[in-house]
Amino acid sequence: MKPATPEAYELMHRGALALASLEEAGMRVDIDYLDRALVKTTQRIAALKERLWHCEEYALQRRRFGTSVNITSKDQLAVVLFDDMGHHPRNWTATGKPKMDETALEQINSQYTRGILRLEKLIKLNSTYLLGVRNAVDGEYLHPFFNLHNVRSYRGSSDSPNLQNIPVRDPMVAKVIRRAFIPRDGHALVECDYSGQEVRVACCISGDEKLTYDTLEGDMHRDMAAECYMVERSNVSKGMRQAAKGGFVFAQFYGDWYKKCAVNLWDEVERRKLETADGVPLIKHLASRGIVRLGTTAADEPTQSGTFEAHLEKVERRFWGERFKVYSKARRQWWDTYERQGWLKMVTGFVVSGVMEKNQVINYPVQGPAFHCLLWSLIRLVRELKRRKMRSKVVGQVHDSIVGDVHLKELDDYVQLVHEISVERLSRAWRWLTVPLSMDSEVAYDNWFSKEAYNGKA
Q: What are the 10-residue block averages of pLDDT along the chain, 458 residues in total?
A: 80 97 97 98 98 96 95 94 90 80 86 96 96 96 96 93 92 96 98 96 97 96 97 97 96 94 91 93 96 88 93 97 97 97 95 94 96 98 98 96 98 97 97 96 97 82
Cβ atoms within 10 Å, residue 291: 20
State the Cα angle at 336 between 334 and 339, rounded to 5°. Answer: 110
pTM: 0.92
Query: In the prediction, which pLDDT does 3 show?
Result: 66
CA–CA gap between residue 52 and residue 47 (Å, rounded): 9
The domain defined by 32-136 folds into Taq DNA Polymerase; Chain T, domain 4 (1.20.1060)
Going from N- to C-terminal start, the domains of the chain cover: 2-29+144-199+365-453, 32-136, 209-323
Which own/partner contact pairs does 112-119 have at CB distance under 8 Å and 24+ positions apart?
112/52, 112/55, 112/56, 112/57, 112/58, 113/57, 113/81, 115/48, 115/51, 115/52, 115/55, 116/52, 116/71, 116/72, 116/77, 118/48, 119/45, 119/48, 119/49, 119/52, 119/71, 119/72
Residue 458: the pLDDT is: 45
Is there a contact between 179 and 447 (Cβ–Cβ < 8 Å)? yes
3-state secondary structure of 453: strand
Rg of the chain in Å (alpha carbons): 24
Q: What is the pLDDT of residue 169?
A: 87
Alpha-carbon separation of residue 217 from 213, 239, 250, 269 (angstroms) = 5, 21, 18, 28
List, in order, residues 6 or more apart from 79 with CB less than 8 Å away. 61, 64
* CATH number of this structure's domain 2-29+144-199+365-453: 3.30.70.370
* CA 137/CA 158 separation, integer angstroms: 15
Q: How far are the Cα atoms of 11, 382, 458 from residue 387, in angstroms, in the given order?
A: 19, 9, 21
Specify the long-range contacts of residues 146-150, CB closer than 8 Å, at least 24 apart. 146/19, 146/22, 146/23, 146/397, 147/19, 148/12, 148/15, 148/16, 148/19, 148/375, 149/1
The pLDDT score that the predictor gives to residue 301 is 87
Helix residue ranges per DSSP H, 69-219: 74-78, 102-108, 111-124, 131-136, 171-178, 197-206, 209-216
